[in-house]
Structure 1
Amino acid sequence: MVQKRVVSIEDRIPKLKQERRKKANRKLIFYLLIFFVLVFIVIYLQSPMSYVKNITVNGLQFLPEEEIIEQSEIEEPVNFWRVKTKELEDNIMTHPQVKEAEVSKSFPNTIVMDVQELTHVAYVELDGKINPLLENGDVLHELKSSDIHGDVPILKGFKDNNYLHEIAEELGNLSPYISALISEAYWEPTESNPYRITLYMTDGQEVESTIRNLAHHLDSYPSIASQLDNDQEGIIKIDQSGAVFTPYEVEKEEEEKIENDHEE
């Protein structure tokens, strides 16, 4: 018969005391940790450490950062945890040049504003002044000539806001490459076609088309232009029926012939 080893209570007491001491120490450390964390939080919330120190604005192309920060109406100094991001977003969205806005917090004291601007699709000449035209058809305040960039066309002759809104939408659908090829665009309506438009391209060509579906019509322009001789300039008529190129020489001869017929 196997005899079991019997451990006396006297031998077990030191081990039990040691285990209890370890548990007590762990609890003490845990409570001290919670205490110091709470103290740190209180000190942090009551000190300047919890105030917004940095505001980062991303995505801007035309607008200055200061204008967006001012538009957000964020108060300075302001407690980081009291900032209402949704309220700042709504304030930024009231800016006429802003399309989308998202505001977030980056611990410990940074506010991040991600902004998407409405695209400048053209400059429009109104009363002898040059004004930026946005993709939604809104016209901004007059610009200085030094602030005008050549990557979008200048619109001339537009006297009706409805047609201005339509061409703004069409230009917004153009690729940046094709948009940069347009130097100037003239609205030249006729009784039969109030949407008639003439485009003067940077490569010397002249394009006659319509405001409606202009973006679709101009998709084929690079292909058409590449088939012409470098020194051959003229008028390219592009509409729903296709494209027709007439060299300036032929156009001039036809005009002279019409004038001669009238004289006779």
Structure 2
Amino acid sequence: MNNRMEQEKIVSIEDRIPKLKQQRKQKTNKRLTLFLCLFFILILLVVYFQSPLSKISAIEVAGNAHATDESILKQSGVSIGTGFWNLNGEQAEREIKKMKEIKSARVLKTFPNKVTLQVEEYKRVAYAEKNGSFMPILENGVVLKSDEKSLPSDAPILINWKDADQIQEMASALLQIPKPIASSISEIYHAPEKNDSWHITLYMNEGYVISGSVRNIADKIKAYPSIVSQLKPGTKGIIHMEVGTYFESFEKPSDSKDKKDQGEELNEAQE
């Protein structure tokens, strides 16, 4: 009985030996394959970092409408030929945001070697006229010292504005005005009066003139489209928006009653 059991054990072990050898061989092959893969990956990495593929070959500037690609690129410090993986994106973003007209900046890397400088500019809410030049006024109230000679068409022109605080206040008011109305404003004159140092005169593209105050113009001018719709076609004049709102025609009314009737129509339009 014992001899039989011993013989079965011997047979069982002999059967398992080939399987154990096969398993060991498979493990060895897997280790060899993994080692070879790692070796070739290291070789490829060495070749990549030594080749032009690891250097920045293309830089794109996106999101800018006024600041030039060249000025943004120069400010960023990023250049063709710089190591793609050595590029410090956060530092480049900080440098770009030092430009007065730039609100935010992001450096985006695209493998294998392309870089995009994505920027957002401060909105230009107006231009300050000075000696025949037009200096952009940004949404944060900053006035850029540029020398633009051509007449701007993307924002109104501020004329007779000298105080920086008042310019910033006007810029804030323009941001609150609905875009369709703001785009209709051609020029804004600072015209202080005895009782209101914030008094302004706005010239509209439609031929109307608005008399008002910086302090409440953003709210009162919202009624402008409704007011214009109540006026007779071809009628031009001044829309007063200081305290009450009424219309004063450039043409002298035949009697005071005509002017009064027009004033009542504007009040109804506002309501």
The secondary structure found in structure 2 opposite 1:103 is strand
In structure 2, the residue matched to 1:135 is 139
Residues of 2 paired with 1:88 and 1:131: CA distance? Answer: 27
The CA distance in 1 between the partners of 2:208 and 2:27, in whole Å, is: 88
1:44 matched to 2:54? The reply is no
- Runs ≥4 in structure 1, deviation > 6 angstroms? 251-254
Q: CA deviation at 1:139?
A: 2.4
**1:245 corresponds to:** 247
**Conserved in 1, the CA contact under 8 Å of 2:90 and 2:107?**
yes
Change (3 A) 1:242 1:42: farther
Structure 1 pair 252/123, CA: closer, same or farther in 2 (3 Å)?
farther
8 Å CA contact retained: 2:132, 2:149: no
Q: Deviations over 1:57-83 (max 9, x none)?
A: 221111222221111112442111111
Q: Residue 222 of structure 1: which of 220, 225, 247 is its match?
A: 225
- In the alignment, the residues of structure 1 paired with residue 85 and residue 41 of structure 2 have an alpha-carbon distance, to the nearest angstrom, of 17
Tell me, in whole angstroms, the C-alpha distance in 2 between the residues paired with 1:89 and 1:109.
18
Q: Residues 251 and 114 from structure 1, CA distance in 2 versus in 1: closer, same or farther, beyond 3 angstroms?
A: farther
Percent of pairs identical after alignment? Answer: 39
Cα displacement string for residues 235-259 of structure 1 (whole angstroms, at most 9, x for unaligned residues): 11124x44222222247978xxxxx
Q: Does 1:185 align with 2:198?
A: no
For 1:46-125, what aligned pairs fall within 5 Å after superposition? 46-125=50-129
Q: 1:8 is paired with a residue of what secondary structure? A: helix
Given that 1:103 and 1:114 are in contact with CA atoms closer than 8 Å, whether structure 2 keeps it comes out as yes
Alpha-carbon distance in structure 1 between the residues aligned to 2:178 and 2:118: 24
Counterpart position of 1:261? none
Q: In the alignment, residue 156 of structure 2 is paired with which amino acid? A: P
Structure 1: gaps spanning 5 or more residues: 255-264
Q: Which residue of 2 aligns with 1:258?
A: none
Q: Which runs of 5+ in 2 are unaligned?
A: 257-271
Question: Of residues 151, 155, 169 in structure 2, which corresponds to 1:152?
Answer: 155
Q: CA RMSD in A?
A: 2.2
What's the TM-score once normalised by structure 1's chain length? 0.85
* Separation in structure 2 between the aligned mates of residue 25 and residue 252 of structure 1, nearest angstrom: 107
